[in-house]
Amino acid sequence: MMKPRISKVGAVKVNAMREAAIFHIGDSVGYNPRSNGFALDRLNPTFTEPENIFSNSIYRMPIPKPYITENVLMNKQDLSPSIRVGGIRIIAIGNASVFQIGSTKYIDTESRIKHVRLFD
C-alpha cells in the first residue's frame, strides 16, 4: 500500500475542465472516469427526428488493454513526508483526465468521441 504524504500547494489556476475531468489535491486509492461524446457538424443544421447517437458501436466496443509481458521492478524512496508545489497554471483539463497533486494507486480513464461532418 502506498504511504500517504501531505500535499502543500501554494496556488493552482485552472481555466477550464471538461466532462468527467478530476482535479484532486491529496492522496487517493484510484480513479475511473469515463466520457462519451458526439460532435455533429452539418452544412444545413436541420434535425427532423431524434438521433440515437450513443447506439453507435464505438461506445460499446471493448478497448483492448495492453498486456505487460515483462516484470517491472521499481524502488522509490520519498525523501520528504510532503509534496510541495509552489504554483501551477493549467489551460485545460480534458475529458476523463486526472490532475492530481498527491499519490494514487491506480488510474483507468476512457474518453470516446465520435465526430461526424455532413456537407450535403
* Cα 92 to Cα 45: distance, rounded to the nearest angstrom: 29
- The structural domain count of the chain equals 1
Task: Specify the DSSP element, H or E, that contains 112.
Answer: strand 110-118
pTM: 0.72
**60 occurs within a structural domain:** yes
1 within some domain = no
Provide the domain limits for residue 20. Answer: 6-118
Give residue-wise pLDDT tens across range 33-78.
Answer: 999 888 878 787 766 666 667 676 788 888 888 888 888 888 878 7
Neighbours of 6 (CB within 10 A): 12
Helix, strand or coil for residue 58? Answer: helix
**In a domain? residue 66:** yes
Residue 114 lies in a domain: yes
Q: Is residue 47 part of a domain?
A: yes
User: What pLDDT, on the 0 to 100 scale, is given for residue 66?
Assistant: 84
Selection from 1, 4, 8 nearest residue 101 by Cα = 8
108: in domain: yes
